[in-house]
A and B are shown apart, each in its own frame.
Chain A
Amino acid sequence: AKTTPEPLRFPTIITRAIIKGRRPWIPGGETMAFFNGGSRALVEILTRFQSAERPMPVDHTFFEFGSVRYHVQASASDPENVYLSISTPSLSHEASPSTGLPEFTLQEATKMYHKFAEVVEPSKEGYALTLKLNFSGLARPKDRARAVRQVSLLQSVILGSQLKHLLGSLGSSGATKLVYNHRDPFFVSRTPGKISAIFPMRFRDDTDLAVATSFFQELQDAGSSYARAPRCSWSAIPPPELRGEPVHHLTTNGGFVSFDIFERHVKRKRAAKTAWILLNFQAYVKYHIKCTRNYIQSRMRKRQETLAEVRTSLPPSLCQSKKCTCKNQ
C-alpha cells in the first residue's frame, strides 16, 4: 500500500502565532524567553521573599549561563534589606571578576537603582558587585514588581556599561576582541558612522556546521526584509576589519557573521538591549542547532516507525505447491 507522508504541520502553527502577534513556539525547544535580559530565578526569589507572611532568612547561591554567579542573602532580624551579589565574566581579558567592577560601571548601577538600592563597598568576597536592596520605600505592589524586574536586569546593565566604555576607548576607528564567553570570543570594530560586531563561528560537528550555514543564509536574507534591524552578512573569509589579528583567532570552519550597528540601534535605552542580544548571539545559534537536531531525530524516528509498520503489514505467502520447500508446508 502506498504510504502518504505526514503533512508538514509546524509552519502553519508558527504562521498563525505570528499573525496573532504572539511569540511562536518552535517545536523541539523552549520559547525564546530563555534569552531575555532578566534573570527569572532572581525574580522568583525576590518575589517570594517579599510576599512571605513572616520574615524568613534567605541565603541562595545560583549560577546562570554557566559563568554568572548570584548570591542573595537576607536575615530574619533585618527583613527590609536584601543583599544581592553578582559575579559576571568581564568582556576584556584585563579585568578579572574578583577585582571588582570599574568606576563607570558602579556609577551606571547606582544611577539605575538609586530609588531602592545602594552599592556596598567593598563587595562580598568572590563577587564583583554587592547591592543592598530596600523595597520598603515603594508602597504599591506594582512598583515593587517593576523594581524586582529591573534588578533582574543587573547583568545586562553591567555588560552594557562595559561594552559602551570599550567602544568609547576605540576612538573613531579600531577593532577589539571581546571575551564574554572565553570559548567563543568575538570582535567589535568601530568605523565612522557604525559599529560592526563580527562573530567567528566554530563548530565541532559536520551536522552543526550544515544547520548553522543554512541558518546564516536565512539570517542574511531575512535582514534585507527588516530595514530597522542591523544589517547582517556572512562570509567564509575574515572581513577586512579584522586585518592584523592573530591567525589562530581567525581560524574557523563556520565563517564570520557580521552585524552593522548604527546609531538608531543604540539610542537611549536600546543600547543595553542591543548589547545583550549581540552578546548572546553565539548561544542563540547553538540553541537553534540543538533544537533542530532534536527535531530531525524525532522526525526520523517517526518515519522509521511508519516504514516498519508497512513492512510488518506485508501478508505471508500461502504456498500450495507440492514442490515448495518452504517452512509453512
Chain B
Amino acid sequence: SRPPPASRLRRRRLPLSLPHELRQPAATPRSRSTRSLLSPSADPRVRRPSVAMANTLRLYLTCIRNTLEAAMCLQNFPCQEVERHNKPEVELKTSSELLLNPVLICRNEAEKCLVETSINSIRISLKVKQADELENILAKKFLRFLSMRAEAFQVLRRKPVQGYDISFLITNYHCEDMHKHKLIDFIVQFMEDIDKEISELKLSVNTRGRLVATEFLKQFI
C-alpha cells in the first residue's frame, strides 16, 4: 500500500548540522537536483568564487535557484488541526512531520536567504546588503514600500520574518496557477532588481546632493 505522506516526508528530511552546509539524504537516491544543493565550494562542478562581486552574486543566486527548484514541491494538504481549513503549514509550524529543515544560504555576513519549506507552502526570507547608513535607510524604505503593496505581487508577505528585510510566501495554489520555473525566475530577478534599485537610489541621492551643493556655492561667486 502507499505510505502515508508524513512518513514519506520523514525519509526525505535533510539532516543538517550547520546552517550553510547541505548534506545528501541517506535514503533518497542522489539525483541531479539534490547534487546541485551542495555549497558552491564543495561542488566540484562550480568554479572557485573569485573576488569580483559579480561572480559571488552569480553563485549566490545560482545556489538560491537550485535550492528553490528542489524545495518547491508543494501539494495540497488540508489542515490536520481544524476541519475544512487549509493553511500554509510553514507559517503555523504546528506539525513537525510536515516541515522540512530550513536552509540558510549566506553570501556574506550581511546578505543571506532563508528557505523554509513545508508540504504545502514555502517561505523565502531575504536579508539585503546594507553597506552604510544611507543604504540602510533606503533599503528599509523601499522594502517597506513594496511590502505594504504585497497584494500586487501575490507571493509577497506583508511583514518580513524577524531578522530579515523581505519575505515571500508561496503556496501550492500559486504553483498551480503559475509555472514553477517562472516563479523561481521571478524571485531571483526580484532579488537582483532590489539590489540594483537600492544602489541606483544611493547613487541618485549622492548625485543630487553634489549638484545642489555646487549650485549653493556658485551663489557666492
Measured CB to CB, the residues of A under 8 A from B are 2-3, 5, 8, 10-11, 14, 23-24, 26, 32, 206-207, 210-211, 213-215, 217-219, 221-223, 225-226, 228-230, 232, 265, 273-274, 277, 281, 284, 288, 291-292, 295-296, 299-301, 303-304, 307-308, 310-311, 314-317, 319, 324-328
Among listed B34-42, B111-119, B173-181, interface-contacting one? B173-181
Most buried by A among B155, B176, B189: B176
Question: Cβ of B217 < 8 Å from any Cβ of A?
Answer: yes
Secondary structure of the A contact surface, majority rule: helix
Measured CA separation A14–B211 after assembly (Å)? 8
Given A218-B210, A317-B179: 18 more A-B contacts, CB < 8 Å: A3-B189, A3-B193, A8-B200, A11-B211, A207-B137, A210-B134, A210-B136, A211-B134, A222-B217, A223-B217, A226-B214, A230-B220, A277-B219, A307-B193, A308-B149, A310-B186, A311-B186, A315-B179
Contact mask B146-182 → A, CB, 8 Å, 1/0? 1001001111000000000000000001011111101
User: Which one, A32, A222, A324, contacts B210 given CB within 8 A?
Assistant: A222
Are A5 and B193 within 8 A (Cβ)? yes
Measured CA separation A183–B182 after assembly (Å)? 55
Are A304 and B146 within 8 A (Cβ)? yes
Q: Which residues of the other chain, A, contact B216 by a CB distance below 8 angstroms?
A: 219, 277, 281, 284
Q: Which residues of the other chain, B, contact A229 by a CB distance below 8 angstroms?
A: 217-218, 220-221
Question: Cβ of B213 < 8 Å from any Cβ of A?
Answer: yes
Known: A223-B217, A229-B217, A296-B205. A303 touches B212 (CB 8 A): no
Interface size on B, residues (CB 8 A): 52
Question: Cβ of B183 < 8 Å from any Cβ of A?
Answer: yes
Are A5 and B196 within 8 A (Cβ)? yes
User: Which one, B75, B177, B180, contacts A316 given CB within 8 A?
Assistant: B177
User: Which one, A217, A230, A300, contacts B141 given CB within 8 A?
Assistant: A300
A-B contact pairs, 21 of them (CB 8 A): A3-B193, A5-B193, A11-B207, A24-B211, A24-B215, A210-B138, A219-B217, A222-B213, A226-B221, A229-B221, A230-B217, A277-B216, A277-B220, A284-B216, A292-B208, A296-B201, A308-B149, A311-B153, A317-B180, A324-B176, A327-B177
Top 6 nearest A-B pairs (CB, nearest first) are A326-B176, A229-B217, A219-B213, A215-B209, A308-B152, A218-B209
Question: Cβ of B133 < 8 Å from any Cβ of A?
Answer: yes
Measured CA separation A326–B137 after assembly (Å)? 42
Q: Which residues of the other chain, B, contact A328 by a CB distance below 8 angstroms?
A: 176
Question: Cβ of B91 < 8 Å from any Cβ of A?
Answer: no
Measured CA separation A221–B217 after assembly (Å)? 11
A296 to chain B, nearest CB (A): 6
Measured CA separation A219–B186 after assembly (Å)? 41
Are B145 and A300 within 8 A (Cβ)? yes
Q: Which residues of the other chain, B, contact A207 by a CB distance below 8 angstroms?
A: 137, 141
User: Which one, A8, A14, A292, A315, contacts B178 given CB within 8 A?
Assistant: A315
Are B209 and A5 within 8 A (Cβ)? no
User: Which one, A23, A219, A223, A295, contacts B208 given CB within 8 A?
Assistant: A295
B111 to chain A, nearest CB (A): 19
Are B204 and A295 within 8 A (Cβ)? yes
Q: Which residues of the other chain, A, contact B203 by a CB distance below 8 angstroms?
A: 8
Known: A211-B205, A214-B205, A307-B146. A315 touches B182 (CB 8 A): yes
B119 to chain A, nearest CB (A): 14
Of chain A, the residue at the smallest CB distance from B211 is: A14
Q: Which residues of the other chain, A, contact B177 by a CB distance below 8 angstroms?
A: 316-317, 326-327
A182 to chain B, nearest CB (A): 23
